[in-house]
Amino acid sequence: MTVEAVLWDMDGTLLDSEKLWDIPLYEFVEKLGGTLSLATRQAMVGSSVPRTMSMLFAEVGVEHPSEEEVADGAAWIMRRTEEVFRAGLPWRPGAREALRAVRDSGVQMALVTSTERQLTEVALDTIGRDLFDATVCGDEVERRNKPLPDPYLRAARLLGVDPTRCVAIEDSPTGVASAVAAGCTVLVVPCDVPVEQGERRVFRESLVGVDLTTLASLLQR
């Protein structure tokens, strides 16, 4: 089987940015008068903005925040995260080289991220817009973000490919679940949280040395 497209996650996969997200998330909970626990922070990795906001408010005992509170909180986190992103985004090991190697092979590529478009555009200043034939952001799938399959299904539709002939590259349980549900084979490179073994997922410690030949071999398994 040939690879019709390669679908890349962003935070924790291409960029070592989950640690940067720590800054506004911990600060926001402190603004609410609490402390963000490690367990809650890890549960947020790869999740959508609505789910993240729900967990942040629940952390300080607010189970039903108003729409205004959620919107204001999300806007504050967006502004603070953009400040942090603009200060510099570090790459994950081998990610820059793997992106270029796969792109140079001629296969189609898409970026599939739970991060909203505004912040993704900032990150693309570092990653490179020219590398992707399509990008799918968290606020472009309404409330059907990862771990639901919709982001990866949307990317496949935009590229005109069969998701079962695509390889997705992910780092988190949430992202892996989304890609698997869409029918993709997944190269899993865990970053900050462990990912369980399961169907259509192959594990690797880093993206060092990854190219299209590496990814095509996954579809043969």
Please tell me the distance from the alpha carbon of residue 170 to that of residue 155, in angstroms, as a whole number: 14
Global pTM reads 0.89
Please tell me the distance from the alpha carbon of residue 170 to that of residue 200, in angstroms, as a whole number: 12
3-state secondary structure of 17: coil
Structure tokens at 181: 């549900």
Q: Of the ranges 16-20, 23-27, 146-150, 161-165, which one carries the lowest mean pLDDT score?
A: 16-20
**pLDDT interval class at 50 (50, 70, 90):** confident
Residue 74 CB contacts under 8 Å (≥ 6 apart), including other chains:
49, 53
Please state whether 61 falls in left (phi above 0), alpha (psi between -120 and 50) or beta: left
Count how many residues are written for the chain: 221
Please tell me the distance from the alpha carbon of residue 149 to that of residue 166, in angstroms, as a whole number: 13
Identify the pLDDT of residue 131: 97
**pLDDT interval class at 143 (50, 70, 90):** confident
Is the pLDDT confidence value at 142 over 80? no
Mean of pLDDT values over 165-188: 97
Q: Residue 92 has what DSSP assignment?
A: P
**pLDDT interval class at 36 (50, 70, 90):** very high
Query: 103 phi and psi, to 5 degrees?
Result: -60, -45
Query: What's the whole-number average pLDDT of the chain?
Result: 95
Identify the pLDDT of residue 182: 98
Evaluate whether 176 touches 199 at the Cβ level (below 8 Å): no
Mean of pLDDT values over 53-73: 95
N- to C-terminal Cα separation, the chain: 10
**82-105 pLDDT per residue, tens:** 999 999 999 999 999 999 999 999
